[in-house]
Amino acid sequence: MVTTVTAPKPSAPPKKASFREKMHQAREDAIVSAVNRLLAERGFEGMTVDEVAAEVGVAKASLYKHFPSKEHLAAAAMVRILQRTLEHMATLPPQLPAHEKLKSVVRWAMQVHLAGEMPLLPTENSTLRSTLMAHGAYLDALVEVSDGLGTWIGEAQASGALNPTTPPIVVLYTLFARACDPVLGFMKAAGQHTTDEIVEWVLATCFNGLNTR
């Protein structure tokens, strides 16, 4: 019996984006950048769709062709910051102890906040929450970030670097909270300390507490 082996067909080269597609993506990127800045400055309640449209230089009707609502604009900004978080996490050396990886992510998040690049969303807004919970890209990125941090939290607790009696979910939410910690803004507004000093002090209270050691 003779078996004939058929060579696999070469895969087709990736299709290049058309000029129209590139312009569409460039406009969406500009919209998300504007939303990110406005959310960082004013929060979700203070941002308006009119302001976003004016910032990008498009009509509101054109903006709605990209994002159907203010809530979807916020979701897009959250996807971007989560993707940036994943990019930072990917830069950390594998041999770095887990608790140091956690500190690095929290430090980076606070630096982003102080640079005015952290989108701030309300914790109580049912319409926004529903949009986020139905947004596939947001949920995928959030799960990926949470899983990565959760793995490091487990390793840090196992090594004794973090209190093993604290539920991991409490640790995770505590770390997330530092990205929008109002203490950062209060200290920056006082103008008496450098960004690095503010970050390291808040980082120390997060991981070491306020008690003397």
71 within 8 A of 121, measured Cβ to Cβ: no
In terms of Cα–Cα distance, which of 124, 161, 130, 168 is closest to 147? 168
Neighbours of 186 (CB within 10 A): 10
Give the pLDDT confidence score for residue 213 in this predicted structure: 61
Angle between helices 49-56 and 70-91 (to 10 degrees): 60
In terms of Cα–Cα distance, which of 117, 78, 123, 42 is closest to 67? 78
pLDDT in tens, 104-132: 999 999 999 999 999 999 888 999 999 99
pLDDT in tens, 56-86: 999 999 999 999 999 999 999 999 999 999 9
Higher per-residue confidence, 7 vs 89: 89
Predicted confidence band of residue 3 (pLDDT cuts 50, 70, 90): very low
Give the pLDDT confidence score for residue 124 in this predicted structure: 87
Give the pLDDT confidence score for residue 75 in this predicted structure: 96
In terms of Cα–Cα distance, which of 38, 67, 68 is closest to 52? 38
Q: Which domains, ranges and CATH numbers included, belong to the chain?
A: 69-208 (1.10.357)
Q: How far apart are CA 53 and CA 85, in angstroms?
A: 27
Give the pLDDT confidence score for residue 96 in this predicted structure: 98
98 within 8 A of 175, measured Cβ to Cβ: no
| pTM reported for the whole predicted model | 0.86
pLDDT in tens, 127-150: 999 999 999 999 999 999 999 999
Is pLDDT above 70 for 210?
A: yes
Residue whose entry in the numeric block shows the structure tokens 């630096």: 111
Token pair for 3: 């078996």
Predicted confidence band of residue 1 (pLDDT cuts 50, 70, 90): very low
Q: How far apart are CA 68 and CA 54, in angstroms?
A: 17
Percent of the chain at pLDDT > 70 equals: 91
Q: What is the mean pLDDT of the chain?
A: 91
**Whole-angstrom Cα Rg for the chain:** 22
Give the pLDDT confidence score for residue 16 in this predicted structure: 73
